[in-house]
């Protein structure tokens, strides 16, 4: 019958119906639950409530014996008596909480116990015991317990090894805990209990605003526990440790603000008396799963489904105290019955994060929020801003009206952050976070009367602000009928009267008009909101139309202060043309609360209240409009207490014209994007480097003035448009129109001017094109400028991407369609550019400058620090060859070839390459590797002319009459010079060249071991490979000391030497070159060795010399030595350099050994995004790099541990390439060992943190290094060339493998 009745009303009126659902409690009178004691909380199934029950019983016993409380003095006496009475209970709790020392010590050492980091970092064992202590509640005494195994492990870590010594320390600590900590814990509980009881007693019996109950007629406080059908005396005789008695003690339900009491196994709210208890209800217990309380789950599921079949929505009672898994399951069942169920709830967690968790997991549609609890006009404005501002004015994201598709400006190509794509590579919008949707109410049910806190006029003001909000709204009948007292939801037995025909003496006519206004704002598309505390007592809510920029101002005059009870004037000045008054409503009389007589039969409201409502008035009593100048308005308002005025304002004509241009052209991809593509067709990749990137130092070197500075935010990372988009990405994701960038745009078009002028300075056509665009939109309303600027700049970025895809072949492959690979390819554009003071030497006499590859930004952006020989040629294969930028790769190869001296290329350049520094042994081999890889794509590279800067090792630069050879000749010279042996002292050696290096460190050697053919060199006084840190701390004693000399034969140099001589042998055998031999130094003589003989010599000796079967670190896991013959003693250190060799020259490795080594490396060195540079088992391992460390520790001072544990990202690329080859080998021997999908998933999992890093990094690259476990290292260069290049090499190789589709 009820179902038919509700359906009939719905069909006739269109009304929808909600009902409360109660899942947390039942009445104490319910007899069914007595047969199912598992379904409610009692002392048997929740024994941690025993302390709360003991306290509750003691308070009840005390209250029954007290005299009347009539004043504050009685209250003080009462508190003293209560504290004394509870001392007995405190002693009982102490016995309960103490730990049984004898029982603990009987437990032997636990071999399975392990310490987590938080436990290990405890100050001492006393702190650890406090953290580990728990209570089992199985016995009335010594129920405290602790994991003694963890205590023993803790002591072992601090050198206490023997069991007697451990027992002694544990005994002392537990005695301390029992004698000192337990009484403190109990005393804290007691203080909270007494404070809670005294607060309740004072409110009940003495407070002016309290109920002033008669002492003796009611308990002093409500009981937290209920026992049916027995007297209190009989209750005292119950044995709470006996199952049958413990089950009889039922826990009452209640309400808390903040802490949830849904997890009764851990909450202290009952023990501390923090629950507003409902003494007539029992708290239900669902358990962790349905099996814990099957009867209750079945009962509540049926009840919930029955309600869903009758009503359109639920209001969840006491929602935040409902166990989440219960709410999820019951709502899931309800939605099977009613899929469109509308769920609302009040949440009082005190935490938006906790609110969001409940909302998201339960699927709550709206959170109920209330305005009548506001305590000032400012607080009221904050509530409207917080809950009633769905989208701010100038929002980057439009609302979704009437089921239309959401429009996100710029969503055609989401600029920078991570994204997913459809099969046709169309980017999909990633939704950002937002506040939970609110159902805003002027007052909810069962709350104090609004007149207890607000003057009469504020009742109208609250309703006006509520209806101006962009959210669901609601009220209750008592509020609209101005009922001047609390309507108690349980105790009130009267009904409302029938709907009055003469209701002009209450709020209903005004509320009806306000609701119509609320609906109009929604129907007409005023989706954006701005809340302005115009002055102390005036709140203005502006509802803005995102397309037309028309707006409706809802002005509300609150009435809290004495001044606000008077009529006053207020002027709103703003741009605009036409003004239309939509609504005026005010309370005419009286301004103070009239007397009210309760009707014994019906609930009635105030009488004699006159409220005037004027909708769309032809002549306004409260609004006067004037035009001080063209395009601007002054709206003069006459404000009476509590009044609400709504006016509609159209923007000026100039704004309309600019908006029409923006909507019809900028937002039209067919027009704007087409014109952008024409402009970009004239730009090459070096132009795009300038358009997109360029850090502050790059700009300043070229006299461009630096990057844009945003007040209250700081400098952008780049001068190009990526600098703006990097900030805008976060701004748009969070729809943060209050960000300093947005404020800067609202104040002026300076960002547009900066962008245009910068591009015009380079005479780029794009600058002149954007100048016209920004001029056309200049007059848009200032608060829409951020959205307009974002759309234009993001469209320019999208056009950049389209042009780059045309110019870089890698972007067109299937792997290039991956967002992550595309971001890595973009680092090639980011890091390759023309910078005025670079050290790259002039390539040809008629070529003034070439593009240079920055080692990283911003640390290595200009001058001699920009182009490092080693870094350039480690990164070049990935960033230039794999991306098809062969012209730049050729220029760099030839450019560095010009600087060959001593058989080496320099690591650092200066003065345009005229004063290079030859302090590294490996750069020339990375160069040789790059030439070999470039040769596959551009065979002519070997015949490129090289205009040498140095005729001989000791000759000065001779740019006028250079010695000319070919790249092939340079490689030949490198091999011969190494075979003959290289010995020299660095030019200009001394403190001016290197202020830290000791004098022997300037003596350089390199050559070949004639017995093995291995490349070797260096000494313990210098660093010749990429691990090149030299100490600089006099205080710690490491100044001038190389941290990682890696002298002797470094494994990756041996591999690159092998690769080079093997390749040269192949070239000679194919008819290229006139010689295939070197004169190799053997002691005091030389012998002639062919390239082929040399390579075979290396191959024959490699496994025997470098394989290490384990033992160095006390384990049996095999790996390859890092060096051979090092006088500094680092040969057997476990480092990632062996993976470089595995990739460069895999034929040197025995497959089974390589597989075992990779397992060792994966276990010991593989980090989150990089590879640890040293095994954690090594005594020198220090994984936290800090150049600002001015301590005395030799190992870490001034960042001495640069390569002694920090995790370097570029090494991960080689490790993954080695793993790929290992997988291929394993699959060849055993096709079923792993599926292709499993291998693909392995690589996807490893690369997930790299995706996250490049998406969040302000410089949009992969960092140089991280600290342990991928932790951020502040001293790391944010975007490093070899980090991106090496990973890109791997990904392209993966694409070409059999696992590419996985």
Q: Which positions ≥6 away from 170 have C-beta within 8 Å?
A: 104, 105, 125, 148, 151, 152, 155
Question: Which residue is catalytic, options 124, 298, 306, 446?
Answer: 446
Sole residue written with tokens 């025909």:
501
Higher pLDDT, 1281 or 1179: 1281
Backbone angles phi, psi at 590, to 5 degrees: -85, 170
The tens digit of pLDDT for each residue in 631-686 reads: 899 999 999 999 999 999 999 999 999 999 999 999 998 899 999 999 999 999 99
| Both structure tokens of 1129 | 């003693």
Question: What H or E segment, with its residue span, contains residue 144?
Answer: strand 144-145
Q: Which pLDDT value is given to residue 1007?
A: 97
118-150 pLDDT per residue, tens: 665 666 788 888 778 888 787 788 788 888 888
DSSP string, 309-376: HH-SEEEETTGGGS-HHHHHHHHHHHHHH-TT-EEEE----S-HHHHHHHHHHHT-SEEEEESTT--S
CA geometry: angle at 829 spanning 825 and 833, to 5°? 150
Q: In angstroms, rounded to a whole number, what is the distance separating the alpha carbons of residues 996 and 1034?
A: 10
pLDDT at 591: 74
922 catalytic, yes or no? Answer: no
Mean pLDDT of 364-380: 89
Q: How far is CA 597 from CA 483, 606, 607, in A?
A: 11, 9, 10
Section 225-240 average pLDDT: 87
Give the pLDDT confidence score for residue 262 in this predicted structure. 65
* SS3 of 207-232: CCCCCCCCECCECCCCCCEECCCCCH
Element of type H or E holding 984: strand 982-985
Write phi, then psi, for 493 (nearest 5 degrees).
Answer: -110, -10
Q: What is the pLDDT of residue 390?
A: 75
Task: State the Cα–Cα distance between residues 1102 and 541, nearest whole angstrom.
Answer: 78
Please provide residue 2's backbone torsions phi and psi, each rounded to the nearest 5 degrees. -60, -40
Mean pLDDT to the nearest integer, 1009-1031:
96
Quote the CA–CA distance of 967 and 970 in Å, as a whole number: 5
DSSP letter for 431, please: P
439 in Cβ contact with 518 (< 8 Å): no
**Gap between the Cα atoms of 779 and 655, Å rounded:** 5
CB 924 within 8 A of CB 899: no
Distance CA 607, CA 592 (A): 12
Task: Judge whether 973 and 980 are in contact, CB under 8 Å.
Answer: no
DSSP state of 776: H
**Residue 424's pLDDT is what?**
41
Written as six digits, the tokens of 211 are 């109920």
Identify which of 723, 720, 725, 716 has the alpha carbon closest to the alpha carbon of residue 689: 720
pLDDT tens per residue across span 587-612? 988 878 888 888 889 999 898 899 99
Residue 157 vs residue 355, higher pLDDT: 355
**Do β-strands 551-557 and 579-589 pair in parallel, antiparallel, or remain unpaired?**
unpaired
* Predicted pLDDT at 105: 80
Determine the pLDDT at residue 197.
93
Q: How many CA atoms lie within 13 A of 1031 on its CB side?
A: 27
For residue 859 the two structure tokens come to 């640390």
Burial (Cβ within 10 Å: 0-12, 13-18, ≥19) of residue 1084: exposed
1130-1176 per-position pLDDT tens digit:
899 999 999 999 999 999 999 999 999 999 999 999 999 999 999 99
Predicted confidence (pLDDT) at residue 365 exceeds the cutoff of 90: yes
Over 50: is that where the pLDDT of 537 sits?
yes
Mean pLDDT, range 948-968, rounded to an integer: 82
pLDDT at res. 259: 61
CA distance 475 to 472: 11
| Catalytic residue chosen out of the listed positions 245, 292, 317, 953 | 317
Tokens of 1171: 């590879």
Please state, in angstroms and rounded to a whole number, the distance separating the CA atoms of residues 1285 and 1279: 11
User: For residue 426, is pLDDT > 50?
Assistant: no
Are 821 and 1300 within 8 A, CB to CB?
Answer: no
Residue 849 CA, chain-centre distance (Å), reads 42
How buried is 529 (Cβ within 10 angstroms: 0-12 exposed, 13-18 middle, 19+ buried)?
buried
In the three-class reduction of DSSP (H, G, I as helix; E, B as strand; rest coil), residue 1124 is classed as strand
pLDDT at 675: 95
pLDDT value, residue 400: 41
- Total residues belonging to the chain: 1302
Q: Is the pLDDT of residue 164 over 60?
A: yes
**What average pLDDT does the segment 582-586 reach?**
96
Query: Per mean pLDDT, which range of 576-585, 909-918, 1236-1245 is the poorest?
Result: 909-918
- In Å, what is the CA distance from 267 to each residue of 285, 676, 682? 14, 62, 68
Over residues 1098-1116, the mean pLDDT reads 87
What integer is the mean pLDDT of 938-964? 84
Using alpha carbons only, give the angle 11, 16, 18 rounded to the nearest 5 degrees.
140
Least confident of 72-76, 254-258, 1084-1088: 254-258
Given a cut of 60, whether residue 428 has pLDDT beyond it is: no
The answer to whether 1181 and 1135 have CB atoms below 8 angstroms apart is no
Exposure of 1049 by Cβ count < 10 A (0-12 exposed, 13-18 middle, 19+ buried)? buried
Q: Which residue is listed with tokens 């609390």?
A: 486
| 72 or 82: which leads in pLDDT | 82
Per-residue pLDDT tens digits for 454-488:
889 999 999 999 999 999 999 999 999 999 988 88
pTM over 0.85: no
Determine the average pLDDT of the residues in 375-394. 86
Give 68: exposed, middle or buried? Use CB within 10 Å, 0-12, 13-18, 19+. exposed
- How far apart are the C-alpha atoms of 796 and 412, rounded to whole Å? 12
Both tokens of 833, joined, read 């550019």
CB atoms inside a 10 Å sphere around CB 423: 6
User: Tens digit of pLDDT for each residue in 1188-1237?
Assistant: 999 999 999 999 999 999 999 999 999 999 999 999 998 888 888 888 88
pLDDT at 158: 77
| Relative orientation angle of helices 1137-1144 and 1051-1069, to the nearest 10 degrees | 10
Average pLDDT over residues 1003-1023: 97
Share of the chain above pLDDT 70, in %: 92
Indicate whether 501 pLDDT > 60.
Answer: no
- Return the pLDDT at 118: 62
pLDDT, averaged across the chain: 89
Pairwise pLDDT comparison (843 vs 1036), residue with the higher score: 1036
N-to-C CA span, the chain = 59
Local structure of 179: helix, strand or coil: helix
pLDDT at 957: 75
Tell me how far apart the alpha carbons of residues 691 and 763 are, in angstroms, rounded to a whole number.
12
State yes or no: pLDDT of 113 exceeds 70.
no
**Which among 702, 678, 673 has a CA at the least distance from the CA of 689?**
702
Which of 25, 56, 222, 320 is the catalytic position? Answer: 320
Q: Distance between CA atoms of 1087 and 501, rounded to whole angstroms? A: 119
- 815 pLDDT band, cuts 50/70/90, is low
If DSSP codes are grouped into helix, strand and coil, which group holds residue 254? strand
Q: Confirm whether 25 is a catalytic residue.
A: no
Q: Find the DSSP H helices in 505-594.
A: 508-523
Please report the pLDDT score of residue 139 as a whole number: 78
Give me the residue label for tokens 């003469």.
502
- The more confident residue out of 110 and 1262 is 1262
H helices present in 178-293, as ranges: 182-205, 232-236, 243-248
Check residue 206 and give its pLDDT: 86
Measured at the CA of 222, the angle between CA 220 and CA 224, to 5 degrees, comes to: 135
Report d(CA 1218, CA 1212) in Å as an integer.
Answer: 10
Q: How far is CA 572 from CA 624, 753, 782, in A?
A: 10, 31, 17
pLDDT of 409 reads: 37
Of 47-51, 224-228, 260-264, 1044-1048, the one with minimum mean pLDDT is 260-264
Is the preceding peptide bond at 1087 cis, omega within 30 degrees of 0?
A: no
Cα separation, 419 vs 403, whole angstroms: 24
For the question of residue 1178 being annotated catalytic, the response is: no
- Decide: residue 188, CB within 10 A, 0-12 exposed, 13-18 middle, 19+ buried: exposed
Q: CB within 8 A of 515, min separation 6: which ones? A: 467, 473
Residue with tokens 């104490």: 28
């Amino acid at each position: 019958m009820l179902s038919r009745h509700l359906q009939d009303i719905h069909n006739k009126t269109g009304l929808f119906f909600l009902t409360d659902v109660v899942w947390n409690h039942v009445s104490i009178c319910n007899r069914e639950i007595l047969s199912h004691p598992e379904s409610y909380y009692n002392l048997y199934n929740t024994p941690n409530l025993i302390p709360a029950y003991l306290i509750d019983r003691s308070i009840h016993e005390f209250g029954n014996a007290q005299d009347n409380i009539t004043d504050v003095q009685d209250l003080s006496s009462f508190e003293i008596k209560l504290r004394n009475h509870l001392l007995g209970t405190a002693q009982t709790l102490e016995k309960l909480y103490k730990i049984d020392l004898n029982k603990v010590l009987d437990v032997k050492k636990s071999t399975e116990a392990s310490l987590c980091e938080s436990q290990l970092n405890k100050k001492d064992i006393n702190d650890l015991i406090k953290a580990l202590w728990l209570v089992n509640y199985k016995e009335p005494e010594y129920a405290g317990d602790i994991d003694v195994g963890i205590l023993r492990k803790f002591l072992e870590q601090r050198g206490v090894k023997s069991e007697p010594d451990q027992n002694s320390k544990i005994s002392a600590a537990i005695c301390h805990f029992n004698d000192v900590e337990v009484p403190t814990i109990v005393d804290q509980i007691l203080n909270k209990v007494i404070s809670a009881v005294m607060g309740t007693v004072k409110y009940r019996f003495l407070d002016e605003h309290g109920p002033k109950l008669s002492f003796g007629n009611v308990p002093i406080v409500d009981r937290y526990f209920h026992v049916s059908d027995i007297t209190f005396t009989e209750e005292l005789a119950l044995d709470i440790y006996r199952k049958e008695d413990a089950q009889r003690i039922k826990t009452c339900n209640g309400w808390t603000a903040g802490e949830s009491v849904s997890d009764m196994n851990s909450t202290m709210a009952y023990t501390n008396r923090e629950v507003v208890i409902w003494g007539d209800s029992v708290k239900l217990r669902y358990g962790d799963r349905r099996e814990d309380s099957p009867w209750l789950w079945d009962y509540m599921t049926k009840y919930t489904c029955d309600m869903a079949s009758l009503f359109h929505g639920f209001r969840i009672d006491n929602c935040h105290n409902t166990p989440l898994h219960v709410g999820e399951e019951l709502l899931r069942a309800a939605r099977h019955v009613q899929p469109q169920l509308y769920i609302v709830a009040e949440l009082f967690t005190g935490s938006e994060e906790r609110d969001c968790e409940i909302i998201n997991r339960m699927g709550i549609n709206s959170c109920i929020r209330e305005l009548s609890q506001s305590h000032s006009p400012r607080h009221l404005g904050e509530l409207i801003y917080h809950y009633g501002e769905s989208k701010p004015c100038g929002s980057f994201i439009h609302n979704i009206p009437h089921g239309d598709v959401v429009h996100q400006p710029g969503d055609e190509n989401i600029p920078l952050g991570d994204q997913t794509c459809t099969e046709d590579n169309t980017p999909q919008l990633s939704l950002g976070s937002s506040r939970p949707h609110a159902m805003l109410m002027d007052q909810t049910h069962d709350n104090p009367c609004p007149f207890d806190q607000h003057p009469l006029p504020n009742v109208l003001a609250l309703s006006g602000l509520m209806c101006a909000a962009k959210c669901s709204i609601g009220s209750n009948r008592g509020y609209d009928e101005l009922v001047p007292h609390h309507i108690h939801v349980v105790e009130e037995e009267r009904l409302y009267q029938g709907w009055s025909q003469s209701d002009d003496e209450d709020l209903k006519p005004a509320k009806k008009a306000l609701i119509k206004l609320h609906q109009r704002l929604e129907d007409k598309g005023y989706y954006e909101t701005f809340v302005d505390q115009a002055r102390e007592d005036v709140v203005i809510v502006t509802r803005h139309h995102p397309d037309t920029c028309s707006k409706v101002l809802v002005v509300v005059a609150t009435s809290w202060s004495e001044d606000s009870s008077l009529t006053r004037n207020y002027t709103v000045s703003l741009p605009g043309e036409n003004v239309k008054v939509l609504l005026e409503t005010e309370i005419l009389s009286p301004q103070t609360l009239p007397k009210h007589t309760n009707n014994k039969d019906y609930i009635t409201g105030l009488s004699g209240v006159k409220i005037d409502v004027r909708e769309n008035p032809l002549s306004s009593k409260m609004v006067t409009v004037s035009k001080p100048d063209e395009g601007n308005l002054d709206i003069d308002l006459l404000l009476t207490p509590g009044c609400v005025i709504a006016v509609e304002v159209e923007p000026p004509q100039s704004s309309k014209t600019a908006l029409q241009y923006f909507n019809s052209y900028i937002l039209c991809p067919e027009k704007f994007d087409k014109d952008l593509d024409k402009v970009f067709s004239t730009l090459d990749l070096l132009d795009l480097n300038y358009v997109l990137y360029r850090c502050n130092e790059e700009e300043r070197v070229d006299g461009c003035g630096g990057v844009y500075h945003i007040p209250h935010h700081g400098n952008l990372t780049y001068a190009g448009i990526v600098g703006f988009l990097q900030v805008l990405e976060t701004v748009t994701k969070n729809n943060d129109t209050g960000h300093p960038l947005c404020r800067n745009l609202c104040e002026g078009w300076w960002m547009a001017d900066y962008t245009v002028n910068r591009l015009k300075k380079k005479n780029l056509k794009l600058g002149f094109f954007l100048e016209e665009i920004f001029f056309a939109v200049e007059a848009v309303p200032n608060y829409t400028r951020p959205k307009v600027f974002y759309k234009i700049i993001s469209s320019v970025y999208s056009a950049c991407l389209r042009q780059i895809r045309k110019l870089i072949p890698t972007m067109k492959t299937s792997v290039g369609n991956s967002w992550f690979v595309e971001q890595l390819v973009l680092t090639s554009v980011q890091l390759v550019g023309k910078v005025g003071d670079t050290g790259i030497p002039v390539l040809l006499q008629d070529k003034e400058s070439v593009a240079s590859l920055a080692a990283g930004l911003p640390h290595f952006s200009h001058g001699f620090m920009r182009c490092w020989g080693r870094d350039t040629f480690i990164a070049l294969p990935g960033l230039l060859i794999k991306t098809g930028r062969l012209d730049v790769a050729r220029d760099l190869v030839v450019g560095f070839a010009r600087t060959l001296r001593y058989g080496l290329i320099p690591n650092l350049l200066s003065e345009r390459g005229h004063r290079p520094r030859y302090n590294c042994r490996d750069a020339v081999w990375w160069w040789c590797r790059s030439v070999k890889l470039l040769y596959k794509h551009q065979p002519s590279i070997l015949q490129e002319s090289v205009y040498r800067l140095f005729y001989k090792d000791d000759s000065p630069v001779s740019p006028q009459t250079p010695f000319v050879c070919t790249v092939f000749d340079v490689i030949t010279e490198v091999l011969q010079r190494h075979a003959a042996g290289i010995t020299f002292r660095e030019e200009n050696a001394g403190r001016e060249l290197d202020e830290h290096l000791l004098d022997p460190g300037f003596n350089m050697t390199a050559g070949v071991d004639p017995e093995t053919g291995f490349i070797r060199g260096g000494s313990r006084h210098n660093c010749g490979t990429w691990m090149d840190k030299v100490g600089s701390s006099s205080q710690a004693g490491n100044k001038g000391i190389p941290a990682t000399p890696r002298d002797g034969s470094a494994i990756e140099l041996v591999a690159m030497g092998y690769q080079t001589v093997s390749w040269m042998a192949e070239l000679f055998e194919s008819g290229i070159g006139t010689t295939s031999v070197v004169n190799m130094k053997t002691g005091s003589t030389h012998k002639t060795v062919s390239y082929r003989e040399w390579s075979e010599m290396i191959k024959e000796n490699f496994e025997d010399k470098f394989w290490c079967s384990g033992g160095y670190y006390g384990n049996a896991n095999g790996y390859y030595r890092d060096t051979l013959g090092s006088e500094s003693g680092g040969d057997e250190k476990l480092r990632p350099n062996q993976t470089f060799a595995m990739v460069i020259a895999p034929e040197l490795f025995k497959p089974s050994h390589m597989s075992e080594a990779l397992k060792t490396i994966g276990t010991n060195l593989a980090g989150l995004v990089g590879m640890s540079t040293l095994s954690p088992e090594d005594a020198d391992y220090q994984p936290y790099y800090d150049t600002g460390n001015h301590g005395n520790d030799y190992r870490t001072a001034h960042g001495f541990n640069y390569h002694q544990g920090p995790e370097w990202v570029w090494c991960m690329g080689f490790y993954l390439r080695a793993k790929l080859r290992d997988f291929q080998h394993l699959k060849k021997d055993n096709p079923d060992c792993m599926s292709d999908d499993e291998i693909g998933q392995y690589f996807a999992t490893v690369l997930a943190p790299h995706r996250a890093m490049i998406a969040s990094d302000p410089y949009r690259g992969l960092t140089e290094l991280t600290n342990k476990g991928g932790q951020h290292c502040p001293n790391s260069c944010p975007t490093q060339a070899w980090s991106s290049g090496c990973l890109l090499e791997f990904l392209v190789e993966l694409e070409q493998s059999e696992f590419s589709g996985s």
